[in-house]
Structure 1
Amino acid sequence: MRKMSYLLPVVVIVIVGLLSSIFIVDERQKALILQFGRVIDVKEDPGLAFKIPLIQEVVRYDDRILSRDVDPLEVTPLDDRRLVVDAFARYRITDVRQFRQAVGTGGEEAAARRLDSILRAETREVLGSVSSNDILSTDRAALMLRIRNGAIAEANALGVTIIDVRLKRTDLPPENLNATFERMKAEREREAQDEIARGNEAAQRVRAQADRTVVELVSESKRQAEITRGEADAKRNAIFADAFGADPEFFEFYRSLTAYERSLQQGNSTLVLSPENEFFDYLRSDTADR
Structure 2
Amino acid sequence: MQASLFVLIALVFAAMQAIYIVDERETALRLWFGEVTAEIRDPGLNFKVPFFHEIVKYDDRILPLDTRKLEVTPADGRRLEVDAFARWRVADAKQFRRAVGASSIAGAAPRLERILNAELREVLGKVNSGVVLSADRVVLMNQIRDQARNQALSLGVEIIDVRIKRADLPKQNLEATFERMRAERQRLAADEIARGNEAAQRLRATADRTVVETVSEARKQAQIIRGEADARRNAILAEALGRDAEFYAFLRSLEAYEKSLTGGNSSLVITPDSEFFDYLKSDTGR
**Can you give the 5+ residue segments of structure 1 that lack an aligned partner in the other structure?**
none
Question: Which residue does 2:121 correspond to in 1?
Answer: 124
Deviation at 1:192, TM superposition (A): 2.0
Question: Which residue does 1:22 correspond to in 2?
Answer: 19
Question: Which residue does 2:188 correspond to in 1?
Answer: 191
Question: Which residue does 1:253 correspond to in 2?
Answer: 250
Partners of 1:146 and 1:252 lie apart in 2 by 118
Question: Which residue does 1:208 correspond to in 2?
Answer: 205
Q: Secondary structure at the match of 2:182?
A: helix
Question: Which residue does 1:157 correspond to in 2?
Answer: 154
Q: Secondary structure at the match of 2:51?
A: coil
Relative to structure 1, is the Cα distance of residues 268 and 236 closer, same or farther in structure 2, using a 3 angstrom cutoff?
Answer: farther
Deviation at 1:201, TM superposition (A): 1.6
Partners of 2:144 and 2:174 lie apart in 1 by 26
User: Which amino acid counterpart does residue 245 of structure 1 have in structure 2?
Assistant: G
Residues 247-286 of structure 1: pairs in structure 2 closer than 5 A: 247-267=244-264, 269-272=266-269, 282=279
Residues 173-184 of structure 1: pairs in structure 2 closer than 5 A: 173-184=170-181
Deviation at 1:178, TM superposition (A): 2.2
Question: Which residue does 2:231 correspond to in 1?
Answer: 234
Question: Which residue does 1:225 correspond to in 2?
Answer: 222
Deviation at 1:104, TM superposition (A): 1.4
Relative to structure 1, is the Cα distance of residues 275 and 80 closer, same or farther in structure 2, using a 3 angstrom cutoff?
Answer: farther
Higher mean C-alpha displacement, 266-275 vs 24-33: 266-275
Deviation at 1:21, TM superposition (A): 2.0
Deviation at 1:94, TM superposition (A): 0.8
Q: Secondary structure at the match of 1:269?
A: coil
- Match for residue 97 of structure 1 among 94, 101, 110: 94
Partners of 1:182 and 1:267 lie apart in 2 by 80
Deviation at 1:19, TM superposition (A): 2.6
Question: Which residue does 2:167 correspond to in 1?
Answer: 170
Report Cα offsets for 1:151-180 as digits up to 9, x if no partner. 110111211111111111222212223222
Percent identical residues: 60
Report Cα offsets for 1:68-104 as digits up to 9, x if no partner. 0011111222232222111111111010011111111
Residues 32-43 of structure 1: pairs in structure 2 closer than 5 A: 32-43=29-40
Q: Secondary structure at the match of 1:53?
A: coil
Report Cα offsets for 1:48-67 as digits up to 9, x if no partner. 12222222211111111100
Q: Secondary structure at the match of 1:288?
A: coil
Q: Secondary structure at the match of 1:79?
A: coil
Partners of 1:21 and 1:13 lie apart in 2 by 12
User: Which amino acid counterpart does residue 56 of structure 1 have in structure 2?
Assistant: H
Deviation at 1:187, TM superposition (A): 2.1
User: Which amino acid counterpart does residue 246 of structure 1 have in structure 2?
Assistant: R
Q: Secondary structure at the match of 1:157?
A: helix
Partners of 1:184 and 1:220 lie apart in 2 by 53
Question: Which residue does 2:55 correspond to in 1?
Answer: 58
Q: Secondary structure at the match of 1:64?
A: coil
**Can you give the 5+ residue segments of structure 2 that lack an aligned partner in the other structure?**
none
Higher mean C-alpha displacement, 235-244 vs 11-20: 11-20
Question: Which residue does 2:137 correspond to in 1?
Answer: 140
Higher mean C-alpha displacement, 178-187 vs 80-89: 178-187
Q: Secondary structure at the match of 1:166?
A: strand
Partners of 1:241 and 1:28 lie apart in 2 by 128
Deviation at 1:236, TM superposition (A): 0.8
Q: CA RMSD in A?
A: 2.3
Partners of 2:93 and 2:101 lie apart in 1 by 11
Report Cα offsets for 1:107-162 as digits up to 9, x if no partner. 11111111101111111222222222222222322221111111110111211111
User: Which amino acid counterpart does residue 119 of structure 2 have in structure 1?
Assistant: E
Relative to structure 1, is the Cα distance of residues 169 and 261 closer, same or farther in structure 2, using a 3 angstrom cutoff?
Answer: same
Deviation at 1:253, TM superposition (A): 2.0
Q: Secondary structure at the match of 2:39?
A: strand
Question: Which residue does 2:108 correspond to in 1?
Answer: 111
Partners of 1:122 and 1:245 lie apart in 2 by 119
